[in-house]
């Protein structure tokens, strides 16, 4: 009878020990995953802030002729990487929306600049379409210039909130 009680006690202790080990392992894995996600978020946000700050500096530089028309290839490596890798989904919906809007504005500026340089520029440059396209480019650049500080501030707040 004592052997059966010792056997049951050993089985219960072994079972509880295994459960404790699995629980500890699960907790540790979740903790590591949580830390990895926080680090990924922090890296993505810092890269986005760097790209947006570089954009802001480039857009603030005056043109040599004073008209403000420049051919820009704005840095979008962090934005494209975040969009392509899916790491943008780790960020808040507000930040996702801001980054997507900035990316759209940058693409608009690049498209309009390319259009000015190729199709319209080949016709002599001062036709109605050239002026219309230039106005659209200035408008897009102006919106981008006003949105960039707001975006940088939102990303900075998000970085501080990671903890």
DSSP calls for 25-59 = HHHHHHHHHHHHHHHHHHHHHHHHHHHHHHHHHHH
Q: CB burial class (10 A; 0-12, 13-18, 19+) of residue 136?
A: middle
Domain boundaries, the chain: 39-162
At 24, list the tokens: 């500890």
**Residue 66's pLDDT is what?**
46
Q: Where are the alpha helices (DSSP H) in 61-92?
A: 77-85
> Model confidence over 43-94: pLDDT tens digits?
999 999 998 998 888 887 765 544 545 556 778 888 888 888 888 888 888 9
At 26, list the tokens: 């699960």
Whether the per-residue pLDDT at 145 is higher than 70: the answer is yes
**Residue 123's pLDDT is what?**
59
- Cα 43 to its chain centre, rounded Å, is 9
End-to-end CA distance of the chain: 57
0.85 exceeded by the pTM?
Answer: no
Higher pLDDT, 126 or 33: 33
> Model confidence over 122-137: pLDDT tens digits?
655 566 777 777 788 8
Cβ burial 80-105 (10 Å sphere, 16+ → b, else e)? eebbeeebbebbeeebeebbeebbeb
């Amino acid at each position: 009878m004592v052997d059966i009680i010792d056997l049951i006690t050993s089985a219960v202790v072994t079972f509880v020990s295994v459960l404790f080990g699995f629980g500890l392992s699960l907790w540790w894995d979740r903790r590591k995953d949580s830390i990895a996600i926080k680090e990924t978020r922090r890296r993505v946000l810092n890269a986005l802030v760097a790209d947006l700050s570089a954009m802001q500096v480039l857009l603030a530089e005056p043109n040599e002729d004073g008209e403000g028309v420049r051919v820009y290839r704005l840095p979008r490596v962090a934005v494209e990487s975040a969009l392509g890798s899916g790491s943008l989904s780790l960020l808040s919906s507000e930040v996702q929306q801001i980054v997507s809007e900035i990316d759209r504005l940058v693409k608009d500026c690049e498209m309009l600049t390319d259009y000015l340089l190729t199709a319209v520029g080949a016709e002599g440059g001062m036709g109605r379409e050239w002026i219309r396209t230039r106005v659209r480019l200035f408008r897009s650049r102006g919106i981008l210039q006003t949105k960039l500080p707001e975006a940088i501030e939102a990303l900075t707040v998000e970085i501080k909130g990671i903890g």
